[in-house]
A and B are shown apart, each in its own frame.
Chain A
Amino acid sequence: MPVDFNFMVGGEAGQGVQSVGFLLAKVFARGGYHVFADQDYESRVRGGHNFFRVRVSDGRIGAIAEVVDMLIALNRDSIELHQVELATGGITIFDGEKIKDIENNGRFFSVPLEKLAEERAGDKVMSNTVALGAALALVDYDLNILNTVLVEHFGKGEVADSNITAAKFGYEYARAEYKGDFRHLRPLSTTRRMLLTGNEAISLGAIAAGCKFMSAYPMTPASSIMEYMAAKSKDLDLVMVHVEDEIAAINMAIGAGYAGVRAMTATSGSGFCLMVEGIGLAGITETPLVVIDAQRPGPAVGLPTRTEQGDLQFVLHAHHGDFPRAVLAPASVEDAFWVTVKAFNWAEKYQLPVIILTDHHLASSYATVDPFDLSEVTIDRGLLFSEKEEDPAEYMRHRVTKSGISPRAFPGLGRALVVTDCDEHDEEGHLTEDAGERTSQVQKRLRKLFSLKQEIGTPRWFGPQKAETTLIGWGSTYGAIREAVDILRKEDANVNMLHLSELWPFPTEAVADVLGTAHNSYVIENNATGQLARLIKAETGRDVSGKILKFDGRPFTPAYVAEAIRKEGC
């Protein structure tokens, strides 16, 4: 019987929902399970209602599940809000001494969380760890794994020790008091996988790709990238500057890129709004730049801590005038690492801005992945000017070439003067209003897009080569759509999936072919208008049969996608 078990931890901000959720994910990852975990929280530091879902499986998973097998309710709201999600045969752990009107029956199991935390571990703040211990007992898991993880998480010392005690008393209480036989999720193997978020994968990708400079301004859900990079800037050849605003962030990264280091910035949609001028600056000065847009629902401040794929059309067009750019949207946590590496290579090879579109769901969800194979990481810095082969006095930063790519030199590293301008410029980089120079520079820049388009890979396929119905998605919805295809195929539906991570330059032929052969095609998008459908129409001239859209700030689940397709009668 395959294992597919879904935990939910609920409580208010400040109760330690996040830390219990993370620790649960970690202990099961350590036991050889595949894990996918997401966080749902409000834009506040205390109070409100937050929850953290941890899905545990013995097979690969890339999405959350709706049905909850075990609810760890740290407050009453969690019970009231999430009982409907509890599976038949599911259970809720709660503190019956605080919530007295609930009967301790088969669906509820009361543990005196606060009392045990206070009396045994010395502080009621560890109620969440008591609950964690009890949860592990109910599924017959190995407490020693948690003890190891607690020491790693808190560091050796009093805090770890008290948490170990709290977990122990929760575990023992549940062992003694729970009379039934709930479920067995014993450790499977000692397979070592990484457990990390999309933002962490992006940060690691940037570091592996040799990013040496980041400037950014905090904004949910992108902030953890700058925090990670800042934390690692002590020991690596890396600088992270927390600047005054997003305008400074992008312009400073461009300055670093011009000076010859791989540079990036990261923000969310309304921060990207402020960065728009910089996209064009990188475009006309042909400065390599990587920009992460971790989307959240807009417009304006929108829903700060929730998810959406509403920036696709925006980032494709952000800025005035015609110039090349690339837009990539990682499909998963693992993909986020490799897409980031690719983004840095493309940025330098084609000397243009590369935008990575993620969203809150991918940015903050945890997944288990096999450790990234760093020997697969390649660095392509593109065409560089050599003073040994050519006279530096003859150097022209924007020399017109057949490919549109002009060799780069770096200021101060040789005698070549590196001149560039956000005004239209001549080949040397000095401003000009000459009609001929203007035309040749615009054409030269746009030519880069032709070569870049050759690098765009075939979009991901899942399912049979030909099917009656094709589901089309992009970015973080990959896991949910893929699993929906599995669900539907088990019901004998003739379905497959096309998924895009490389959105610009657009893979026109590949997508046009699919739409030419599929009977039905549906885009599945986390936005209100079907922005990918519009892009497909613009680039291929073809319409999709329908759009499954969700814009309530919450991510798709496989069950949601499958049900929507069923309703379409496919």
Chain B
Amino acid sequence: MVTLSDYAGLQPTWCPGCGNFGILKALNKALVELEIEPHRVLLVSGIGQAGKLPHYTRGNVFNSLHGRSVPPAIGAKIANPDLAVIAISGDGDGYGEGGNHFIHAARRNHDITYLVHNNQVYGLTKGQASPTSDTGFVTKTTPFGAANPINPISLAIVSGASFVGRGFAGDSEHLSDLMKSGITHRGFSLIDILQPCVSFNHKNTFQWYRERVYKLGNESGYDPSNKQAALGKALEWGDSIPIGIIYREELSVYENQLPALHRGPLVTREIDTKRAESLLAEFI
């Protein structure tokens, strides 16, 4: 049986009260409830405060370069599809530096889960505006106010992601359930996580979010398989912010179309130096 103690990692160095604690708690709970042992998990992160998360839990860890959590995650998933591969980024890491990878991983529908801690600000570099900072957000690098934010939810949907959700770090029960759905989903799942930054974002606080978020669920009559409706939900921001599964559909998964993977994980296949024999003949 997998327990929370299996996922007890190093002591976090995040600021006290940071939204990241709620995300870490939700992830550990999700993995325990899914009964996935740490050695079957691969956490691939980029750089930023979010990128440190893998060190604070347990599992296989590839802490990658800034903006590059997604490409190595895909490479590892293809090498060994038996791994539960979770890529972890922040909003700067994932939507700025790694924006191109995000779009194309969604488009190709790789079978990985992508958690983006979205605090609408740069934490590690101390308070500069991020790609999701609200319009007009004044920081040291945007003295005249940030430009308009990108909308990761709608971007993921139009890029072809087959699972798009939004969670809130202040509701780790709900977030944990959302993560479970994302992890068990076959295909690319984005979970954008509203994460208050207690040090550098004094606008989008826990209180600010609590007043605005509302849950999408069965009882609300919302159908996440309707792309049009999902795009409508994706555009909701401001006085009310939907959280939960915004879009979900079963699409063909990139890894499924690779003939080599039908014979088993690449990593367990023996190397056969003679496999080139018949190919040599083609050049004679």
Contacts and interface: CB of A to CB of B under 8 A. Distances in A.
Given A252-B72, A410-B267, A236 B260 contact: yes
Given A236-B275, A431-B52, A256 B79 contact: yes
A252 B80 contact: no
A374 B277 contact: yes
Interface in A211-257: 212-213, 215, 232-239, 241, 243-245, 247-249, 251-257
Contacts of A252: 71-72, 74-75
Contact of B64 (A232, A281, A429): A281
Given A243-B104, A412-B39, A232 B279 contact: yes
A207 interface: yes
B55 interface: yes
Nearest to A238: B260
Most chain B beta carbons < 10 A, residue from A193, A200, A238, A378: A238
B266 A233 contact: no
Given A238-B260, A239-B258, A379 B273 contact: yes
Given A194-B280, A247-B71, A371-B284, A412 B40 contact: yes
B72 A429 contact: no
Contacts of A486: none
Interface in A356-386: 371-372, 374, 377-379
B149 interface: no
A416 B39 contact: yes
B59 interface: yes
Contacts of A422: 47, 63-65
B71 A412 contact: no
Given A210-B273, A412-B40, A420-B62, A195 B74 contact: no
B78 A213 contact: yes
Given A238-B260, A255-B74, A417 B275 contact: no
B272 interface: yes
A419 B43 CA distance: 9
B263 interface: yes
A378 B271 CA distance: 11
A195 B63 contact: no
| Interface bracket on A | 35 or more
A43 B76 CA distance: 36
A420 B284 contact: no
A239 B266 contact: yes
A193 B284 CA distance: 6
A170 interface: no
Contacts of A413: 80, 267-268
A411 B273 contact: no
B272 A260 contact: no
A204 interface: yes
Interface residues of B, number: 56
Nearest to B71: A251
Given A213-B78, A251-B68, A255-B72, A421 B63 contact: yes
Most chain A beta carbons < 10 A, residue from B58, B103, B276: B276
B259 interface: yes
Given A194-B284, A248-B100, A417-B61, A210 B272 contact: yes
Nearest to B73: A255
Given A236-B275, A372-B280, A259 B83 contact: yes
Given A259-B76, A261-B79, A410-B80, A423 B63 contact: yes
Contacts of A256: 75-76, 78-79, 266
A457 interface: no
Interface string A243-281: 111011101111111111111000000000000011001
Most chain A beta carbons < 10 A, residue from B79, B103, B266: B79
A186 interface: no
B161 interface: no
B61 A255 contact: no
Nearest to A195: B283
A207 B60 contact: no
Given A413-B267, A414-B39, A419-B60, A233 B276 contact: no
B167 to A, nearest CB: 25
B76 A255 contact: yes
Interface in A397-418: 410-418
Given A248-B100, A251-B72, A239 B60 contact: no
Contacts of A447: none
B78 to A, nearest CB: 5
B119 to A, nearest CB: 20
Contacts of A238: 260
A509 B273 CA distance: 34
A163 interface: no
Given A237-B260, A252-B72, A255-B75, A411 B104 contact: no
Contacts of A194: 280, 283-284
A294 to B, nearest CB: 19
Please name the 4 residue pairs, one residue from A and one from B, whose CB atoms are nearest each other, closest first: A255-B75, A255-B72, A210-B271, A411-B60
Interface of B: 10, 38-40, 42, 44, 47, 52, 54-55, 58-65, 68, 70-80, 82-83, 100-101, 103-104, 258-261, 263, 266-269, 271-277, 279-280, 283-284
11 contacts: A208-B273, A213-B79, A241-B74, A251-B64, A251-B65, A259-B42, A263-B79, A277-B68, A411-B76, A412-B80, A415-B39
